[in-house]
A and B are shown apart, each in its own frame.
Chain A
């Protein structure tokens, strides 16, 4: 595939699915500098994946899959960076906060998601975005039964925290 063609497809994907990318980035990186770094990483992986997309799944599913893989790999790289074993190269100015106000309820959800384990975060994001068990199973590679168990557990935890916050 020619670079121009790849750029065009990537541009279309980015325009249509940037909200998905931001969700993944916000769920896995808490600080703004980290979010820029992770967004950079996710964008690179998606740009490289354009050639490999065969249309077997929807573009949204494909992008989610690549973004989650990149995010989990990034968290491991981040661990190594924090142990001082790998330099971090970040480009400033890639992401700018838009005029839209951050909804406090969305912020609350991100805080709850941040407390989950890496893999459970992926399941939580997919669940909140309305993916079916079968699709979540295909994206994560775990059985539908296991997806159900994880989702029930995540829902119970969120409901319990909602109730606790309502009390306080």
Chain B
């Protein structure tokens, strides 16, 4: 037997495949997988959008209350320049958060379009994703964390200054700015504990992919 005979034998598989597929089970499986993936992505996306929107609206609303000309003069007399500065910083932080979210989405979209469908492109896409996670998107992630921290602290401070305004939330007992910063600082530290581990995992994944790419190029 030679290689040509083997090729003929190989192609005979097309006429009589070794396996049969349970189509009903496959169909059910595909539906489940798709639903699971979509749910996960939707949940992640909405969490980010809702967090950013809530902070942006709250910071904007609180700042609007501060500068509202309809408030009695006694209210604005209680506010110092620094209160306005904190209000502006809160709104700016929320806007930066929204901007970072938008830039992250755009850069991911642009990166995806730069690759084709070949095996090499598939590997390069995964490597680029890991590189982006390690550099650009990590920076954006940091911006998100820092701005969330600043925005939440600013909202807490401003809420303390405008609590005399008769609005429904004026009865809410807010934790002190110190407590808020402490809690967010703790979350921030947790994030930095998690980041090096994730980075290490990504380095190992990247090495595997680079080895495959090298194998693809190797002669």
Residues of A within 8 A of B118 (CB): 65, 138-141
With both beta carbons as reference points, the residue of chain A lying nearest to B126 in the complex is identified as: A73
Smallest CB-CB separation from B215: which chain A residue? A119
Inter-chain contacts of B14 with A (CB < 8 A): 19-20
Number of interface residues of A (CB under 8 A): 61
Tell me whether B74 is interfacial, beta carbon within 8 Å: no
| Chain A hits for B121, CB < 8 A | 141
- In the complex the two chains form, is B119's CB within 8 Å of A140's CB? yes
Say yes or no: B1 contacts A44, CB within 8 Å.
Answer: no
Give min CB distance, A11 to chain B, whole Å. Answer: 8
Contact across chains for A109 and B30 when beta carbons are under 8 A apart: no
Given A14-B21, A94-B26 in contact, is the A103-B119 Cβ separation under 8 Å? no
In angstroms, how far is the closest chain B Cβ from the Cβ of A15?
9
Given A65-B117, A119-B216: A97 and B18 interface contact (C-beta under 8 Å): yes
Chain B residues contacting A95 (CB-CB under 8 Å) are 19-22
The answer for the CA separation of A60 and B103 in the assembled complex, in Å, is: 37
Give how many B residues have a beta carbon under 8 Å from the other chain's beta carbons.
43
Given contacts A48-B34, A119-B216, contact A98 B11 (CB under 8 A): no
Please tell me if the beta carbons of B18 and A98 are within 8 angstroms of each other in the complex: yes
* Set A19, A102, A117, A130: member contacting B215, Cβ < 8 A: A117
- Taking the closest CB of chain A, its distance from the CB of B195, in whole angstroms, is 18
**Is the CB–CB distance between B212 and A72 below 8 Å?**
yes
Those of A107-142 within 8 Å (CB) of chain B: 109, 117-120, 122, 128-130, 138-142
Cβ-based interface call for A2 (8 A)? no
User: Measured between C-beta atoms, what is the minimum distance from B213 to chain A in Å?
Assistant: 9
For residue A82, CB closer than 8 A to chain B, the reply is no
Asked if B208 CB lies within 8 Å of chain A CBs, one says yes
Specify which chain B residues have a CB less than 8 angstroms from the CB of A159 in the assembled complex.
2-3
Q: Do B30 and A44 touch across chains, with their CB atoms under 8 A apart?
A: yes
CB under 8 Å from chain A, chain B span 98-138: 116-123
Q: Which residues of B contact A98 (CB under 8 A)?
A: 16-20
A1 interface hit (Cβ, 8 Å): no
Contacts of A166 in B (CB 8 A): 1
User: Does B6 make an interface contact (CB < 8 A)?
Assistant: yes
Q: Report the bound CA distance from A128 to B205 in whole Å.
A: 31
- Inter-chain CA distance A28–B215, complex, in Å, is 16
- Contact residues in B for A20 (Cβ distance below 8 Å): 14
Interchain CB contact (< 8 A) of A23 among B1, B13, B30, B119: B13
Within 8 A of B (CB), among A122-168: 122, 128-130, 138-142, 146, 149-150, 155, 158-159, 162, 166
Query: How far is B212's CA from A119's CA once the two chains are assembled, in angstroms?
Result: 7
Q: A158 contacts which of B3, B9, B25 (Cβ < 8 Å)?
A: B3
Residue in B9, B29, B34, B205 whose CB lies within 8 Å of A103: B9
A94: which of B7, B21, B215 is its contact (CB, 8 Å)? B21
Report if A102-B18 is in contact (Cβ < 8 Å); known contacts: A141-B216, A149-B219.
Answer: yes
What is B's interface to A at a CB cutoff of 8 Å? 1-3, 6-7, 9-23, 25-27, 29-30, 33-34, 116-123, 205, 208-209, 212, 215-217, 219
